[in-house]
Structures are given as C-alpha cells and as structure tokens.
Amino acid sequence: MPEVSPRVHIVGHTVIDRDGMEAYLRELGTSWRPPAGATDAEAMVEFYGRLCYRSFEVGLNPNVRRVRTDHAEYIENLLSSGHGSVFEAVTVNFVISNVSRVFTHELVRHRVGTHISQESMRYVRYSDGLPYWVPRCIAEDPWALEFFREKWRIMEGWQRELAEHFRIDEEVNFSRKKELTSAFRRLIGEGVATTIGWSANFRTLRHVIELRTAPGVEEEFALVAGEILRACRERWATSYRDFEEVDVPGREWPAYVPRWRKV
C-alpha cells in the first residue's frame, strides 16, 4: 500500500530540422538563422512568427521597415500581441506519474492540442499493492488519514482474494489474464495512482497552467500544473516567464497567472 507523490517528467519536445529550415531560408533569399543561445523550441516559435509576416529581415516584405533582432523581445511581442497560433508549433511530451484516476479523468478533458497515452488497467495488474496519493484535507486529519488507509487496505485485500480465487498467476492465456484483470479493477477506487503520457503544445500548456492553478481547482491538478510550469520554465524561460505566482487565501499552493492572457 505505497503512498506516492505526483511527478512530472519531460521526455521529449520539438527540435529543429536544420537542413530543412535552412533550405527554405535559402529559397527565400535570407541569411536569417535561429538565434544563438535560443532553444530549438523557442527558435521554432520565432521562425513561424517571422514566416507569417516575411519579417526575417528588412527588404523581404516591402511593408516591413524594421525587424526585431532580440530573441527574447520577439517572443514577448508575440505574447503581448496575442499571436498565439505560432506557439502551437512546439509540442512537449510529458510522462506524469503517481497521479490518480481522479486527475487523469480531468486531464483528458483538455483535448485541443494534446496527445494522450494512458497506462491501461485492463492490462496492468497491481500485484504489489495499490499505490495512492493523499489529499491534504485527509493527510492533515489523523482520524481521516487512518480511515483512508484502512479502506485502502480493504480494497487491496479484494484484489488478492480475486487473484487467488481465479489463480491468475498460473494462467498462461494472456486474453484470459486481460479479462480477469479488467474485472478486478472494478473494485479499485479512482484514487489509485497511475501513469499517463500527455503531450501538449505551448499554447495549450499556457492555457492549462492558468486554468488549473486558479482558485477553486482540484488540489492534485493544481500541484501537477505547477510542476509542469516549473519544468517548462527550466527549459523555455522566455515563453513562460510572464507567469506570476499569486497566493490564494485559504490554500497552501499558489495560482499562476500570466501577464499575457488569451495568447
């Protein structure tokens, strides 16, 4: 009956195909190159922003008399002007582990600009106990915490009894194992910890972070959304530095509010 804590892992993200990008830029007749020191992801955002206006340099578009040369200023201008479509060009691949089905049921509601691959409880059987995360309102109340753990132990007992009754560990037919595992999970609560793969573009991530750390949101989701923001800031500070940490009365974790909204 292991107690766990939600974890956020970045396992992949958009990178530039430099040969392809340079071929297009030569075709256009410009010497523009991804800014030195910029990450591939944020350089890709700038690339598509400039593509929209043919603003790689002065002279490519007669309507453009000057161009921004500072990468950070360019990204901030995209954010402040609400040019959000170019942020959809960059995708981040996450593995979010030790989260409940309560969390994943809410996460999958965010479908625009995302990809989802979830650990299947039809195939994956919990033979070493049911892992879980405890919400703070339960963890801070000794009676409630013991009650919670006691009921969890009962659920674990049901899984062992069913496994022993059907002798699932002796079963060699995988289809039968799958059938039984799917049946057993009907006696597992949504609080069981699981793993989900979730990919989202920059525009979607900004929206989800703001929405899911706001006052009144579900605690577990707020904690995960905060971890997603911290992970993104470590890699792509320019695209996420406008988020401000705001204390929420009566709550121990903050909200994150972007300076530039509805990007």
For residues 200 and 87, the answer to whether their CB atoms sit within 8 Å is: no
Residue 127 confidence (pLDDT):
83
| Spatial contact of 236 and 41, defined as CB atoms under 8 Å apart | yes
What are the E-state strand segments in 22-165? 91-100, 114-118
- The confidence band for 250, taking pLDDT boundaries of 50, 70 and 90, is confident
The predicted-structure confidence for 47-97, as pLDDT tens digits, reads as follows 999 999 999 999 999 999 999 999 999 999 999 999 999 999 999 999 999
Q: Which helix (H) or strand (E) holds 10?
A: strand 7-13
Closest CA to 80 of 237, 225, 263, 236: 263
CA–CA gap between residue 200 and residue 211 (Å, rounded): 15
pLDDT of residue 244 exceeding 80, the answer is: yes
Q: Are 27 and 224 in contact (CB under 8 A)?
A: no
Q: Which residues pair with 246 in a beta bridge?
A: 255
Q: Is the pLDDT of residue 1 over 80?
A: no
Query: Helix %, strand %, coil % for the chain, to 5?
Result: 50, 15, 35
Percent of the chain predicted with pLDDT > 70? 100
Per-domain boundaries in the chain: 15-88, 122-191
Q: What is the DSSP string of 19-47?
A: HHHHHHHHHHT----PPTT--HHHHHHHH
Is the Cβ–Cβ distance between 177 and 184 less than 8 Å?
Answer: no
Q: Tell me how far the alpha carbon of residue 261 is from its chain's centroid.
A: 19
Which of 21, 36, 33, 71 is CA-nearest to residue 239? Answer: 71
Rounded alpha-carbon distances, angstroms, from residue 207 to 18, 56, 146, 244: 29, 28, 37, 14
pLDDT at 201: 97
Q: Determine the pLDDT at residue 252.
A: 86
Quick: pLDDT tens for 187-228: 999 999 999 999 999 999 999 999 999 999 999 999 999 999
235 is catalytic: no
Query: DSSP character for 67?
Result: -
Buried b / exposed e along 228-242 (16+ C-beta atoms within 10 A): bbebbeeebebbbeb
Interacting residues of 36 by C-beta distance below 8 A, sequence separation 6+: none
Are 148 and 105 spatial neighbours (Cβ–Cβ below 8 Å)? Answer: no
Q: What is the pLDDT of residue 106?
A: 96
Q: What is the DSSP string of 214-242?
A: STTS-HHHHHHHHHHHHHHHHH-HHHHTT
Average pLDDT over residues 154-181: 95
How many beta carbons lie within 10 A of that of residue 72, not counting itself? 17
What pTM, to 2 d.p., does this model score? 0.92
Among 153, 212, 241, 261, the one annotated catalytic = 212
